[in-house]
Amino acid sequence: MKTKNMFIVFVVVAVVQAFVPLKMIYDTEKINDEGVVYKFKTQPIDPNDPFRGKYITLRFEAENFKTTDSLMDMRQDVYVSIEKDSEGYARVKEVLREEPEEGDYFKAETYYFSTNGLRLNFPFDRFYMEESKAPQAEVAYRKYSTAKNPKPAYALVAIKDGETYLKDVIVDDKPIREYVMEQQE
Amino acid sequence: MSSIIKDLPELISHNIISEQTAKNIERYYAAKKEDQGSNTLMIFGSIGAILVGLGIILIFAHNWDNFSKTVKTILAIAPLLLCQIAAGYAIFKNKSQLFKDIAGILLFFTVGSSIALVAQIYNIPGDLEGYLLSWTLLCMPLMYLLRSNMLAFLHLGFITYYAVVAGYFETERPWPYLLLLGAFIPFYLRRLKGHPFGRITSLFNLLFPLSLIITLGAFLAGVGEFGFLVYMALLGFIYNTGLLPKLESRNDYLRLGSVGIAFILLFSSFKWVWEEMETQQVVESYYIILWAILFAGMLYIAIRNGGKQFYKNAFQAVTVLFPVVYLIGMANSVLAAILDNVMVLALGVITVKQGIDKVDFRKLNFGLTIIAALIICRFFDTNMTFALRGVLFVCVGVGFFVANSMLVKKKRANVLNTPEDEN
């Protein structure tokens, strides 16, 4: 191939390379601006990823869905339609095989079925933190949760057209970063 | 080397070698020289660039709390754009290969780091295999555009990594690996054609079959004992490829193939493997098709190499016989286990003999290792007394000493005899 053609192909490749992260940013910013924000009661644990760094994994109360419909396949993609309960926290309204036409919903995965109902995996289960803080977040949360009458920790999630954006994790009414820093002091 | 080239006209004039041979010799040394020319600086430059690239990823993975989201986002995208400009400049101005390699490697890593960092800033979910897949796909054309061997190595390494994560740690079958591997093959073939003797080519000759061996398992989740058969077909394919005249004597296909074949035979020499096989349910057609493709490929190359005598070599014979033993094993596990053990023993003995005949220490010790490994394996599923086990170990140990010292003597005798022969 001639240098000129090579260069043209390279420019195309470079545009695609840059397009991917930029599209990720654009999509998420859109959910952030236009989505409806829900609070999901949660508990954080700390693992890490070789490339993306330390994060806390979130387990949600709402991932346990009481249902008698045991016909769902495991590890199947489903649509979770969501509503707010009397205290303002997110609650699963329905688990659907088809995309709902109205209301707020997102895509999740069925995990397993037990006597307690259906266990789901929500997609927004990773919250990245500075490497020194992620392990401490887990410890701090554990301490916090064993205290007397703690307010529930929750995740702030913006939802729009089936897409989600995990904005922050709140412990004791503060963003978890601040909470961990306060505990360090 | 230069003295050989200088002597070529003389050798031609005395009819010692033909003109064609002289040309071949010249071409060989020219190719070798070219390969060495792009040597030390390129290797260290590339290692440096890889370290810098990995360093960038780690620095970002720290996740700096003090920066705002906007600053973090700019930091995620800016290195990518800078490296793209550098790589684009390298192509446009047709800069040196060193420049291209370093720009390419840095670009490779910044593509990965930009996606990772954006995912981190925005808590975008996604599994590791999906991330590795988009990363390698986005960088796939770079090895061709920058004509960079280093990028081809990175590509091969990362697609293998992807397949391992997807196939071994998750239960997905990593089909995209085949596409990504297909993208690498033309690059590899061009390299084989242009620089068949180059050091970099021989590194490809090692890493390419190694990637195949590692990745096959990623396609075999849940295969059960039939996996031995599929692996044997792949290893036979690799071994026979190593015998191709174009590749022979300067590649790791043979080495990987023979070690792999011996390993599979040893692994399947246990009684319980065959007992389990007797009770195994019907094998899914997917695995049978996979095996058939690999086995047909193996036979095709073997026949192309050796015509009707393609099974003459002990390792080739074993790969053809193994499916037969497997079929027997479906009906009679004891007989199959015995046959398997006989094959391992035969393989070991024949390799030892070849090692002695050809005064090849590597072969001799490889054969002895196979025999020793077979004995150790039998400790686990037979009720030999400790005394007998001890005696066997002593025998094998003595065997190593005796065989090697015999070979040393033989080699000395050969060296001493050679000048006399010439006189």
Same domain? For A63 and A148 the reply is yes
State the pLDDT at residue B423: 38
Vertex B265, ends B226 and B353: CA angle to 5°?
A: 155
The mean predicted confidence, pLDDT, of chain B is 85
Same domain? For A143 and A55 the reply is yes
Who among A10, A13, A130 is closest to B64 (CB)?
Answer: A130
- pLDDT tens, position by position, B79-129: 899 999 999 999 999 888 888 999 999 999 999 989 988 988 888 888 888
Q: How far is B69 from chain A (nearest CA, A)?
A: 11
Average confidence (pLDDT) over B213-239: 92
- The more confident residue out of A164 and B387 is A164
Same domain? For A133 and A152 the reply is yes
**Would the pLDDT of B202 be above 50?**
yes
What percent of chain B lies above the pLDDT cut of 90?
A: 38
User: Are A130 and B128 a contacting pair at CB < 8 A?
Assistant: no
User: Are A130 and B114 a contacting pair at CB < 8 A?
Assistant: no
Same domain? For A54 and A2 the reply is no
What domain range is A23 assigned to? Answer: 1-34
Domain count, chain A: 2
Report the greatest alpha carbon distance in chain A.
73
**Would the pLDDT of B249 be above 60?**
no
Average confidence (pLDDT) over B314-341: 90
Q: How many helices (H) and strands (E) does chain B have?
A: 18, 0
β pairing state of A48-49 and A36-45: unpaired
**How many Cβ contacts (< 8 angstroms) between chains A and B?**
109
Burial of B121 per CB tally in 10 Å (0-12, 13-18, 19+): buried
State the pLDDT at residue A34: 92
Residues 99-138 of B with CB under 8 A from A: 107, 111-125, 128, 131, 134, 138
**Would the pLDDT of A102 be above 70?**
yes
- pLDDT tens, position by position, B158-178: 999 999 999 988 778 899 999
User: Most A CBs within 10 Å: which of B123, B145, B190, as the mutation test of the A interface?
Assistant: B123
Same domain? For A23 and A76 the reply is no
State the pLDDT at residue B34: 55
Dihedrals φ, ψ of B356, to 5°? -70, -45
Same domain? For A65 and A141 the reply is yes
Who among B81, B134, B145 is closest to A18 (CB)?
Answer: B81
Q: How far is A178 from chain B (nearest CA, A)?
A: 10
Buried/exposed code over B130-154 (b: 16+ C-beta within 10 A; e: otherwise): ebbbbbbbbbbbbbbbbbbbbbbbb
**Would the pLDDT of B53 be above 70?**
yes
What residues pair up with B118 in beta bridges, in sequence order?
none
Same domain? For A83 and A10 the reply is no
State the pLDDT at residue B325: 92
Q: How far is A130 from chain B (nearest CA, A)?
A: 5
**Domain locations in chain B as residue ranges:** 18-221, 226-415
Q: CA–CA separation, A77 vs A80, rounded Å?
A: 10
Whether the CB-CB separation of B194 and B142 falls below 8 Å is answered with: no
**Would the pLDDT of B198 be above 60?**
yes
Residue A127's SS3 state is strand
Same domain? For A17 and A49 the reply is no
- pLDDT tens, position by position, B137-166: 999 999 999 999 999 999 999 999 999 999
Tell me the pLDDT band of A18, cut-offs 50, 70 and 90: very high
User: Are B62 and A49 a contacting pair at CB < 8 A?
Assistant: no
- The more confident residue out of B381 and B212 is B212
Same domain? For A74 and A110 the reply is yes
State the pLDDT at residue B2: 56
Q: Which residues of chain A make contact with B107, given a CB cutoff of 8 A?
A: 17
Same domain? For A26 and A79 the reply is no
Specify the range with the lowest mean pLDDT, choosing from A7-16, A34-43, B42-51, B197-206: B42-51
Who among A11, A55, A131 is closest to B62 (CB)?
Answer: A131
Same domain? For A25 and A108 the reply is no
Distance (Å) of CA B157 to CA B152, B204, B215, B264 = 9, 11, 11, 24
User: Are B61 and A54 a contacting pair at CB < 8 A?
Assistant: yes
- The more confident residue out of A75 and B302 is B302
Establish whether this prediction's ipTM goes over 0.95: no
**Would the pLDDT of A73 be above 90?**
no
State the pLDDT at residue B311: 67
User: Most B CBs within 10 Å: which of A1, A52, A58, A136, as the mutation test of the B interface?
Assistant: A52
State the pLDDT at residue B384: 75
**Would the pLDDT of B419 be above 60?**
no
In chain A, the residue whose alpha carbon lies closest to the alpha carbon of B57 is A51
User: Most A CBs within 10 Å: which of B63, B94, B113, B115, as the mutation test of the A interface?
Assistant: B63
What residues pair up with A79 in beta bridges, in sequence order?
A96, A107
A interface with B, Cβ–Cβ < 8 A, is 3, 6-7, 9-11, 13-14, 16-18, 20-22, 24-25, 28, 49-55, 123-131, 133, 165-166, 177
Who among B57, B91, B114 is closest to A6 (CB)?
Answer: B91
**Would the pLDDT of B421 be above 60?**
no
Same domain? For A1 and A68 the reply is no
